[in-house]
């Protein structure tokens, strides 16, 4: 029993060290590329110091995104090193079954799943709100035009564009475009800011343009009440990309869209992707283990890493292609996430059964 525990700890430490190394390398490269991309967006008050803060603030999201890949590549490399040095052969000769080795190699993956859930549900949505709102405000979100970023939302016959949303319930650059039943623009309204007070929105520095019977009239008001079903909590959801929202946030917004008779497919796709990510991570680790015991048992480290990248990218691209396909062809988004998982699970099972 003591020997088995030592073997477990040895396998766990080897795989864990490899996962940490992979994450360090991948995140370092990603941070450099992210900073270079942000340099291209420098304007107004958004300069190099703000770009650095933005990249650092989005670090939790980057960790969350790369955790499945890190688990997959780390397991492939960690077990690969043990296989290359014939240590796995010795372990099996000592009477340790493949099932026990698989379970030992899976233990770091369970830790990663818990970390991913904590990041995805608590840290990432909050840090992304801060990062995106600070960037938008620094780039001049109170300009009297709809910025290239921001967010769009439709509520009845009114199309709403908001340049930036602060988590404290302050909106910058609010544009309201109202259309008639014949889809003709009837009026446009722009407010420099909107503040949520006592359960209602108050627009500040309002300028409205009305189009009626070939005539254009404009008027300005310092303040105006804005009746909308959008709450600060919903806007905090909208400011973050669907893939970076929490499961509860996605569920809440999907329910809101369905109540408004709007298309919720994009958010449903992200919802199922988040819900099934723990299963995706476990399946990828299982495939890595099956590769080490199967076709990559005697392969070089370079070839093993190359194969790992190919499989990891194939898994990602399969999900990325099936996701939009579900929106185009109308099948349930859950299948877009499940199909790559099932394919990888079958592949890993076949390879393991050949060894066993």
- Domain match, 8 and 61 both: yes
pTM for the model stands at 0.78
- Domain match, 224 and 128 both: no
- Domain match, 127 and 174 both: no
What pLDDT, on the 0 to 100 scale, is given for residue 248? 87
Tell me whether residue 143 is in a domain. no
Look at the chain and report how many structural domains it folds into: 2
- Domain match, 127 and 276 both: yes
Which residues make beta-bridge pairs with 299? none
- Domain match, 334 and 232 both: no
- Domain match, 58 and 182 both: no
Tell me whether residue 247 is in a domain. no
Tell me whether residue 145 is in a domain. no
- Domain match, 54 and 195 both: no
20-72, pLDDT tens digit by residue? 999 999 999 999 999 999 988 887 778 888 899 999 999 999 999 999 989 98
What pLDDT, on the 0 to 100 scale, is given for residue 301? 66
C-alpha torsion sign, points 354, 301, 116, 9: positive
Tell which of 238, 259, 276 closes a domain. Answer: 238
- Domain match, 43 and 118 both: yes
* Residue 347 structural domain: 2-138+267-355
Tell me whether residue 299 is in a domain. yes
Considering only CA atoms, which of 73, 102, 120 is closest in space to residue 284? 73
Query: Measured between alpha carbons, how far is 207 from 225 in angstroms, rounded to an integer?
Result: 13
- Residues 99, 91 contacting (CB under 8 angstroms): no
Tell me whether residue 308 is in a domain. yes
- Domain match, 95 and 192 both: no
DSSP 243: G
- Domain match, 17 and 100 both: yes
- Domain match, 132 and 281 both: yes
What pLDDT, on the 0 to 100 scale, is given for residue 113? 92
Tell me whether residue 245 is in a domain. no
Each residue's pLDDT, cut to its tens digit, for the chain (356 residues) gives 557 778 888 888 999 999 999 999 999 999 999 999 998 888 777 888 889 999 999 999 999 999 998 998 888 888 888 878 878 777 777 777 778 888 888 889 899 999 999 999 999 988 988 888 788 777 765 554 444 566 788 888 888 888 877 766 788 888 899 988 777 888 899 998 888 887 788 999 999 998 887 788 888 989 998 888 777 777 777 777 888 888 988 888 888 778 877 778 888 888 988 999 999 999 988 888 888 877 656 667 677 777 777 887 888 888 878 877 877 777 788 888 888 899 888 988 887 777 65
Considering only CA atoms, which of 93, 133, 112 is closest in space to residue 23? 112
- Residues 187, 210 contacting (CB under 8 angstroms): yes
Tell me whether residue 246 is in a domain. no
Tell me whether residue 95 is in a domain. yes
- Domain match, 133 and 56 both: yes
């Amino acid at each position: 029993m003591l020997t088995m525990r030592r073997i477990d700890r040895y396998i766990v430490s080897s795989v864990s060290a490899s996962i940490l190394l992979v994450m360090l390398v991948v995140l370092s490269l990603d941070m450099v590329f992210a900073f270079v991309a942000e340099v291209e967006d420098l304007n107004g008050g958004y300069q190099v110091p703000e770009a650095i803060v933005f990249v650092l603030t989005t670090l939790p999201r980057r960790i969350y995104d790369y955790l499945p890949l890190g688990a997959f590549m780390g397991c492939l490399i960690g077990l690969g090193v043990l296989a290359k040095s014939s240590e796995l052969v010795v372990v099996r000769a000592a009477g340790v079954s493949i099932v026990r080795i698989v379970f030992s190699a899976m233990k770091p993956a369970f830790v990663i799943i818990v970390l991913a859930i904590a990041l995805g549900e608590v840290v990432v949505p909050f840090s992304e709100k801060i990062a995106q709102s600070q960037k938008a405000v620094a780039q001049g979100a109170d300009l009297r035009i709809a910025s290239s970023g921001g967010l769009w939302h439709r509520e009845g016959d009114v199309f709403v564009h908001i340049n930036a949303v602060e988590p404290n319930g302050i909106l910058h650059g609010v544009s309201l475009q109202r259309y008639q039943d014949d889809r003709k623009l009837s009026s446009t309204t722009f407010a420099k800011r909107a503040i949520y007070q006592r359960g209602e929105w108050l627009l500040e520095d309002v300028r409205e343009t009305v189009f009626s019977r070939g005539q254009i009239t404009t008027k300005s008001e310092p303040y105006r009440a804005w009746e909308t079903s959008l709450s600060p909590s919903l806007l905090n959801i909208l400011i973050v990309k669907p893939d970076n929202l929490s499961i509860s946030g996605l569920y809440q917004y999907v329910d809101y869209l369905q109540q408004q008779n709007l298309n919720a497919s994009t958010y449903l796709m992200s919802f199922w992707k988040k819900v099934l990510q723990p299963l995706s991570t476990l399946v990828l680790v299982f495939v890595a283990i099956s590769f080490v015991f199967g076709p990559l048992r005697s392969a070089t480290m370079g070839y093993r890493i190359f194969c790992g990248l190919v499989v990891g990218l194939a898994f990602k691209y399969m999900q990325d292609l099936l996701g939009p396909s579900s929106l185009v062809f109308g099948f349930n988004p859950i299948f877009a996430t499940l199909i790559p998982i099932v394919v990888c699970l079958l592949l890993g099972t076949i390879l393991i059964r050949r060894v066993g």
